[in-house]
Structure 1
């Protein structure tokens, strides 16, 4: 029997559910060097947290996250709460000797991210590990795209085009949520979904964004407040409204350190698009293209195939493709939840091996600086260096 790795998770809504599924499933499909145990779930409301713990498979429910740091039966703190809580919890947990997995973006500000990266560096010197949860890089097709670039299959990289398109707040009657409030979320489309495409681009290229020129817009400036009680039909709203203090859409141009050009678009106002994370990378010898709404497929073009008229469609379900060998026979596709399982596997493996996981808090800090540069650029209408 492998040694246990006892997990405490903070937050149990959307991301908490996804992380819970990952911790439950990972040891059953992957041969892990440590055995994850879902020890404690932490939330603000005792009744809702207890119900979530029972539903999601956690052994215990608590409401005080600080109590987790004093427990010898907690090895990892998994942070799935809103962005305004990340810095305080992560720094305290790392200083207490707990490994930390923190959802993206790392923080709401560069200053918070700097404090978190410094805490992670202090902790690493003592064998304590920290990782940011950019799960899309664990989608097998995107990992395969990175492998192709790293192998030189695309030649010198010239262009990157990345989009993250959603439509969940197109309706102006959609209620004001914490994701639409800057003091809680840090930013809107830019930090919530734009962060994913920046990370995906940097991951695939093995390169970093150095300069940006952006613009941001809030299309619906006021939204109805959620009512105190919601019915079976969904979230009820009141007659009162509150200001939207984040961006609904963010677009920016970028330069990479290696010379490639990039264009990035993040919006929650793309009607009909539910979760379209798209990225295309063009090099001197070939290209790759990916769309998460068809997540098991990578489109690949090489100049040697020019006489065939375009891209070839690779179904990324072969056993030698990244992560796939642990799952189903070829052609039996994976889903959104599998990337979270792969994230858990990579984090556990790094902890057991005493290696720094990726993306690190230092990586998260670098990305936070990209987001801050885009905001500054949009405000000044000029190019900004990251």
Structure 2
């Protein structure tokens, strides 16, 4: 029976991660009954049925891994081999990369290339819902597959995931909710915690929790991405995990300040600035940072009423549908004005932008000790 148990254990290793612990418990029970000369036909039948079903799903997921290509113009392409080796050799890897380096869209593909995502999903967290949905959409387009098959997403009130989904984009809150029913996160064989430098309560709790469960999940890989700040602290937290630095694409930036006009509506000031930009010799798209949905709607209505020639106005905020959010990535003619919250600052990169209008305010999450509730006041930002 000892040789048989060893063979079954090898087969269990080629099953879905979520089934390995229950199958191992079933096998131990069978081994105990055999050692006591008790019948175990019924237990063996149930064990074999579950083993076969899990093994078939594992093979189907393995066969569904698409062919992978990488855009060579992204800075992360130059560090691909270093990233592959680090992820293969270490349980935790810290990736320090600036905005625009390509780390968010390319890291899941590097993990797929290493065979991750088969025994369990590659869970990829984003701090914001809009980023989770747009990144999922972007990766599916690069893989030339429909959303919800190889790559899917889950955010509050919305999800597109199939039985053979290998990469799951989600907010960090969704991953926290998964812990309630799956304490050791067996549904995942790899976790990518993106934008960890934002240091929200959710992200900090996840990082602490993951450190505690890693000894119990030696098969789990964790990749933490951050801007180039705080990476040493992340590395120390995970017992000196290796740090891979990926450079971003930087361009010369000219900063011009306009005098504050507190007595004029912000939308009118944005309109004036857009009209001024349209008179400049160098044409390019315009990104406008606004503090919230109401400000975006008001400014969009004003820009459309102005009927400026060859100008397309595209809002970008969380409550828009995925199709409307995806408009910022579609090719277009003329000049496009993207009206966005600060999600477009770090969580996703909008292509084609030459000019940025920043009023210098944003909604900041604050806790009010007086009213005992979380508030979102509009405050000046650097």
Asked if Structure 1 and Structure 2 have the same fold, meaning a TM-score greater than 0.5 normalized by the shorter chain, the answer is no
Q: Could you tell me the TM-score, scaled by structure 2's length?
A: 0.28
- The structure that is helix-richer by fraction is 2
Q: Which has the higher contact order (CA 8 A, sep 6+)?
A: 1
Higher strand residue share:
1
